[in-house]
């Protein structure tokens, strides 16, 4: 059938035009689309929490006993029993108690029981048309499987309950939520459905990406991120200024637009069209050394380093404040700021400036502050710091440090 009868039309004679399936198809237009132009997404209507439970959640008794409890809900259930069978609106208006141990635990082997919401319909030749919460008892086995769900195929598994051998109570750790995953009939694209055009709650990017009825302007609430995303026709755009926990976490913004802003902890980043770059100065990291390095001579030696997560295109400022000394007078020491990808910095790192110190008196420390900026650091883990080498003279060089004369290395992002 291609052209369906519309809702609420007047029959020309005594026989009505609309059967129950036509009514369900018409109501389906009100819900989140999914799968095709005339199908809706199955899911629970978001609503006030019942204690700490979400709609349709199965929980154990506070003081464990043989029961589990299904939280109240209203469920949009897209029928799969015809090409366009429309949606049921199923309601559980109070907590539903299920006595799992009405079938006692097997003394030897565990079993898997299922709690299922099922809609039957005589329109599709079922014997009756109830909406039911079913407790389907599994078969005990060393490695038990889920029992089959018979009857109408219009059903949603709510939970799996593991009944251990000899169990006398059911605890929360034995209940697996199947509403959104874990079973062939789990809900696709998250556990919720909303009115067409509404903002659909999803718990993760994976749930969002599983949606198949999306259109330009489709909006979701990412409960894992605390932000709204809208589909543009080619990607999901985060609305407003998203907050991320690290530079790497910016990847959660899956379709950024050029010049989009984001906050990473206390720093603002801008998307250039190819990557994220910081647009405001800020502290990256700082180290303090309280011991001496050396002695060394003409082998370039690492004094201090900072390992950090570099951002492509950023400009960094390195400040090192320390002291070097030699065992003889008039030695020359080169202080060399370098950077290198990874967690290990050595003389193979990229040199971005050099400062030379003339130690004119033996065994007397010469304080120096090195300030240098650098760009072009490869995005990802990188190390930056100061190395030193004797470039003139014959003495042994020591980079001094102790508890009262601390050596500090500061890294900032400046553009």
CA dist 147 and 157 (Å) reads 11
Domains within the chain, CATH numbers bracketed: 20-177 (no CATH), 199-278 (no CATH), 283-413 (2.60.120.1340)
Q: Report yes or no: 371 and 352 within 8 Å, Cβ to Cβ.
A: no
pLDDT of residue 10: 73
pLDDT of residue 50: 61
CB atoms within 10 A of CB 290: 11
How far lies 217's CA from each of 71, 171, 211, in Å? 32, 43, 14
**In terms of Cα–Cα distance, which of 60, 323, 292, 77 is closest to 179?**
77
**In terms of Cα–Cα distance, which of 199, 176, 202, 178 is closest to 189?**
202
The SS3 of residue 174 is helix
pLDDT of residue 14: 67
Low-confidence residues of the chain: pLDDT under 50: none
pLDDT of residue 280: 62
Q: 130-145 in b/e burial notation, b at 16+ Cβ within 10 A?
A: ebebbbbebebeeebe
- What is the phi/psi pair of residue 130, to 5°? -85, 155
Residue range 288-325, pLDDT digits in tens: 999 999 999 999 999 999 999 887 778 899 999 998 98
Query: Checking DSSP bridges between strand 261-264 and strand 243-244, what pairing results, if any?
Result: parallel
pLDDT of residue 1: 58
pLDDT of residue 51: 65
Helix (H) or strand (E) holding 22: helix 20-28
**In terms of Cα–Cα distance, which of 368, 409, 405, 384 is closest to 290?**
405
pLDDT of residue 8: 74
**In terms of Cα–Cα distance, which of 336, 283, 333, 277 is closest to 305?**
336
Task: Check: pTM over 0.85? Answer yes or no.
Answer: no
CA dist 182 and 230 (Å) reads 27
């Amino acid at each position: 059938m291609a052209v369906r009868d519309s809702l609420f039309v007047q029959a020309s004679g005594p026989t009505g035009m609309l059967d129950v399936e036509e009514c369900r198809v018409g109501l389906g237009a009100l819900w989140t689309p999914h799968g095709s132009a005339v199908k809706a997404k199955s899911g629970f209507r978001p609503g006030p929490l019942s204690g700490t439970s979400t709609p349709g959640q199965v929980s154990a008794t506070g003081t464990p006993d043989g029961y589990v409890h299904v939280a109240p809900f209203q469920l949009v259930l897209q029928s799969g029993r015809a090409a366009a069978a429309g949606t049921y609106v199923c309601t559980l208006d109070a907590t539903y108690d299920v006595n799992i141990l009405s079938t006692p635990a097997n003394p030897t082997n565990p079993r898997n029981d299922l709690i299922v919401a099922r809609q039957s319909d005589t329109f599709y030749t079922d014997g009756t048309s109830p909406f039911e919460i079913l407790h389907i008892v599994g078969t005990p086995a060393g490695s038990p499987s889920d029992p089959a769900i018979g009857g109408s195929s219009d059903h949603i598994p709510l939970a799996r309950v593991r009944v251990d051998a000899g169990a006398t109570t059911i605890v929360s750790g034995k209940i697996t939520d199947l509403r959104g995953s874990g079973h062939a009939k789990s809900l696709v694209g998250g556990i919720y459905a909303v009115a067409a055009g509404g903002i659909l709650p999803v718990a993760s990017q994976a749930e969002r990406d599983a949606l198949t009825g999306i259109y330009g302007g489709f909006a979701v609430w990412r409960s894992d991120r605390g932000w709204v995303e809208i589909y543009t026709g080619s990607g999901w755009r985060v609305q407003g200024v998203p907050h991320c926990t690290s530079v790497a976490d910016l990847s959660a913004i899956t379709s950024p637009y050029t010049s989009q802003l984001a906050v990473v902890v206390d720093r603002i980043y801008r998307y250039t069209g190819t990557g994220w770059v910081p647009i405001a100065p800020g502290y990256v990291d700082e180290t303090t050394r309280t011991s001496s390095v050396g002695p060394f001579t003409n082998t370039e030696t690492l004094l201090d380093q900072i390992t950090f997560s570099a951002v492509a295109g950023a400009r960094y400022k390195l400040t090192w404040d320390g002291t070097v000394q030699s065992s003889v007078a008039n030695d020359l020491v080169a202080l060399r700021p370098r950077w290198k990808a990874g967690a290990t910095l050595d003389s193979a790192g990229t040199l971005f400036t050099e400062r030379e110190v003339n130690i004119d008196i033996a065994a007397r420390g010469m304080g120096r502050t090195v300030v240098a900026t650098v760009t072009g650091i490869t995005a990802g883990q990188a190390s930056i710091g100061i190395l030193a080498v004797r470039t003139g003279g014959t003495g042994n060089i020591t980079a001094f440090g102790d508890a009262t004369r601390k050596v500090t290395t500061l890294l900032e992002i400046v553009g």
